[in-house]
Amino acid sequence: MAINPDRPGMQAAVLVAPLAALVLLTGTIRHAQASPEYIQSEQTAAGSVEDAPESSEHAFKLPTPVRVITELADLLFESSLDLHLRNYYFGRQRDASPTIEAWAQGAGLQLATPRWKDRINLAATLYTSQKLYGPADKDGSKLLKPGQKSFTVLGQAYLEARLYRSLSLKAYRQRIELPFLNGNDARMVPNTFEAVTLFDFSGQRFVYGLGQTWRMKKRDATDFISMTEAAGIDGPDRALTTVGARYTFANQANVAVVDHYNRDFMNIFYAEGNSRIRTRMGMGFQFSAQYANQRSVGDQLGGDFDTDFLGAKLAASYRGLLLTLAHTSTRNNAGMRNPWGGSPSYISLMIRDFDRAGEDAWLLGLSSDFSYFGDNAFSGFINYAWGDTPDNGADASPDESELDLTLDYKPGTGVAKGLWFRLRAAFVDQDGANRKDLRDIRLIANYDFSLL
């Protein structure tokens, strides 16, 4: 793939190169690692290879502890009420296509009860996204409903029952964080799902989960629709059945599998393995591999397809410095589909997932919290990926690259605790005479605090 130094993404790369060199020389990173975008959009980054979760580790992470009460009368009086504010500007320039632009103020109001007799608790979250700026001819940001309309929705409302030790049953509207089935909270409001899930969150060597998901609410919608309709299928409604498990070895290496089955549409199988070691000199290494297969099943409501991808990742850390290299390869038959959330691919970035039919992709990631200059609450990361696809035939598509830049300010203590300012930019450059380059700017301000 030829490199054009005059294109916007490459100009940005030239500007960033001195900063990257400075990071490598001063190198004190607590928050760093290239993770799939649906995870990376919700956190600054990890502190080292030991703290950088992959998709299956993110799925089975320990839940936030819940207070326990013994008197039913205390259920309401001991409840918590938290407000999560988010102000978001999104702008995207596209070659030969209209600009996308919106600015909105949003919030998530979460009410959660304590756990009665260490068995049952309730929770609900009301989400809103209110337009501050959004011309009708610049629709498509997914911050607002189609047509640049404000919206409010009861995104979560569930009962959770602790059945045995850490085995937990959750019913009705909820967030799910699994590969290919997740909140993908990179806009104002996350995907949420109407489901019944059963998960073991013990954190012991073997953990597992299963679920039945009937409907989902997409990020820019208020209605919960069937899983087949969410995949763009005009046909009978079909639920999604999910099973998954992870096993952790004595040396903390782990393997995991997840399977999603949507009758008459498709089956998704995902497997992942992770191993981390630390040397006597303080260097940390992570070796990870992933595999996913998607194939049509039953009546093939989405057409006849069978495709898969393989991925490998190496991450190294030393005295806070993290560097990530990754490679993925997608089979020629078809590209991967992600109708129910973000992709777990190691090279899922802000705009592209690099999983088109026949695509081979590579990634280089780097980040820093700038603690060399003191504890200043700043962090930032850079990801650069490029993908090579077939030049002719049914799977032909332009080669392309993406450069992502993120700068965060998130104090952990003091009067500013709960604030999180984020500046993000992404540049997609395509090859060819008919290339369609993209340029993203995203300004995000979050503030979380408790009302009760």
Residue 47's pLDDT band, with cuts at 50, 70 and 90, is: low
Domain spans of the chain, in order of start:
8-450
**Tens-place pLDDT, residues 374-404:** 677 888 899 999 999 998 887 788 999 999 9
The reported pLDDT for the residue numbered 370 is 76
Q: With a cut of 70, say whether residue 12 has pLDDT above it.
A: no
- The answer on pLDDT for 24 being more than 50 is no
Q: Which position has the token pair 């850490």?
A: 166
What predicted TM-score, i.e. pTM, was given to this entire model?
A: 0.90
pLDDT > 80? residue 407? yes
In which element (H, E) is residue 106 found? strand 97-112
Tell me: pLDDT of 10 over 50. Answer: no
The Cα 215–Cα 227 span in angstroms is 5
Residue pair 445/87 in contact by the 8 Å Cβ criterion: yes
Q: Tokens standing for 445?
A: 């301000």
**Position 202 confidence tier, pLDDT thresholds 50, 70, 90:** confident
User: Nearest to residue 268, comparing CAs of 235, 319, 231?
Assistant: 231
**Measured CA angle at 313 (ends 251, 357), to 5 deg:** 135
Instruction: Give the per-residue pLDDT at 35.
Output: 82
Which of 46-60, 142-156, 177-191, 251-265 comes out lowest in average pLDDT? 46-60
Torsion angles phi and psi, residue 15, rounded to 5: -70, -35
Beta strands in 369-418 (DSSP E): 378-388, 400-409
- Note the pLDDT of residue 372: 64
> Which of 8-12, 24-28, 127-131: highest mean pLDDT?
127-131
pLDDT in tens, 304-336: 999 999 999 999 988 777 899 999 999 998 999
Cα gap 386→330, rounded to integer Å:
14
Work out the average pLDDT over 211-227.
98
Burial of residue 20, with CB atoms counted within 10 A of its CB: 0-12 exposed, 13-18 middle, 19 or more buried: middle
Q: What angle do CA 13, 15, 17 make, to 5 degrees?
A: 65
Could you tell me the CATH superfamily of domain 8-450? Porin (2.40.160.10)
Task: Identify the residue whose tokens are 């918590």.
Answer: 80
The more confidently predicted of residues 145 and 34 is 145
